[in-house]
Amino acid sequence: MIDKDIATPKKTKAILDKYGFSFKKSLGQNFLIDTNVLKRIVAAANVSQSTGVIEIGPGIGALTEQLAKEAKRVVAFEIDQRLLPILKETLSAYEHTKIIHQDVLKADVQKVIKDEFEENEELAVVANLPYYVTTPILMKLLEEKLPVRTIVVMIQKEVAERIAAKPNSKNYGSLSIAAQYYADAETVFTVPKTVFVPQPNVDSAILRLSIREKPPITVKDEAFFFEIIRASFAQRRKTILNNLAHHFSTLSKQTIEEILQSINIDPRRRGEALSMEEFGVLSDNLLKKFRT
């Protein structure tokens, strides 16, 4: 067995060379080669002997190894079949780890949780996510309302800043509101591109999503609420009135303007200036026009 820790340049290279592994750009594979960063990720998720962890994209097992040292159980989804024999070797010392060869976007994660973890067990998702599927994976995890207390992921710094952004900032948008509807979002620390092999083109950040017991606002129709948000940011330079008028062609611009004014939202404001609470009120009031 290859000596631990995995996450050093020398040992990572030895593992890759042994198996003749080549990186697939299409899978967004960038492996961490800094044990300190990995330990900080595990700490950010507050993983302990009572924690069950779900990991996505374990690679050669560098983060999995650090999680296994602290967690009660680790179950990881890996899409690349070529990594399975590597993981079997690198994680052989950790019997409480399991690799599931499946695309997490197609997986029934609720069922995996039911099958692999004890009922009411404290659960966390911890992962170094491929850049190209960051948003779909995060939204799947949030929208499926999994019984997890926290999601800690390494993602592109720019995306982390967008998810954690507040109103009236350039990063604030539909993704910020969608994520913050389900969780409290914060960027914990940034990670330079130099600690990866191969090096990505951009820096990364650790994003922590603390799952809410219930959303911060109550809306009459969640799907319609999110539709309003997407429409409001369709063209960022346009006013809320123009974006909504373009999206809801069955309503007159005057009707939309009257609704906005009735709830004290200036029609000339842009989507980035509205709080989640204002979007909630707007959604409920617009909904009335479609249900009368």
pLDDT in tens, 141-193: 999 999 999 999 999 999 999 999 999 999 999 999 999 999 999 999 999 99
Answer with the residue of higher pLDDT: 120 or 38.
38
pLDDT over 90 percentage in the chain: 87
Q: Is 244 annotated as a binding residue?
A: no
Q: Is 103 annotated as a binding residue?
A: yes
Of 2-11, 49-58, 272-281, which gets the smallest average pLDDT? 2-11
- The residue assigned the tokens 């002997």 is 49
Q: Is 78 annotated as a binding residue?
A: yes
pLDDT in tens, 58-79: 999 999 999 999 999 999 999 9
Give how far Cα 162 sits from Cα of 30, 92, 138, Å.
22, 38, 13
User: What pLDDT, on a 0 to 100 scale, did the predictor assign at position 132?
Assistant: 86
Q: Is 227 annotated as a binding residue?
A: no
Give how far Cα 158 sits from Cα of 35, 67, 96, 226, 248, Å.
23, 26, 34, 22, 31
Domains of the chain: 9-211 (3.40.50.150), 222-290 (1.10.8.100)
Of 36-40, 86-90, 194-198, 242-246, which gets the smallest average pLDDT? 194-198
Q: Is 57 annotated as a binding residue?
A: yes
Question: Mapping DSSP to helix (H, G, I), strand (E, B) and coil, where does residue 189 land?
Answer: strand
Helix 240-247 / helix 222-232 crossing angle, nearest 10 deg:
120
Q: Which of 12, 276, 32, 38 is nearest to 152 (CA)?
A: 38
User: What pLDDT, on a 0 to 100 scale, did the predictor assign at position 28?
Assistant: 73
Look up residue 192 and give its DSSP letter. Answer: -
For residue 286, pLDDT over 60 is answered with yes
pLDDT in tens, 256-284: 999 999 999 999 999 999 999 999 999 99
How many Å apart are CA 224 and CA 95, to the nearest integer? 46
Strand segments, DSSP code E, in 70-146 are 73-78, 97-101, 122-128
Cβ 251 vs Cβ 245: under 8 Å: yes
Give how far Cα 291 sits from Cα of 23, 52, 284, 286, Å.
52, 44, 11, 9
How many Å apart are CA 153 and CA 90, to the nearest integer? 22
User: What pLDDT, on a 0 to 100 scale, did the predictor assign at position 1?
Assistant: 39
Beta partners for residue 204, in sequence order: 156, 191
**Mean pLDDT over each residue of the chain, to the nearest integer:** 94
Give how far Cα 129 sits from Cα of 32, 40, 134, 196, 250, Å.
11, 16, 6, 13, 40
User: What pLDDT, on a 0 to 100 scale, did the predictor assign at position 176?
Assistant: 97
Q: Is 67 annotated as a binding residue?
A: no
Question: Mapping DSSP to helix (H, G, I), strand (E, B) and coil, where does residue 195 land?
Answer: helix
User: What pLDDT, on a 0 to 100 scale, did the predictor assign at position 198?
Assistant: 87
Confidence of residue 4 (pLDDT cuts 50, 70, 90): low
pTM of the model: 0.93
195-214 average pLDDT score: 94
User: What pLDDT, on a 0 to 100 scale, did the predictor assign at position 110?
Assistant: 97
Phi, psi of 183 (to 5 degrees): -150, 155
122-135 average pLDDT score: 94
User: What pLDDT, on a 0 to 100 scale, did the predictor assign at position 2?
Assistant: 42
192-216 average pLDDT score: 94
User: What pLDDT, on a 0 to 100 scale, did the predictor assign at position 289?
Assistant: 82
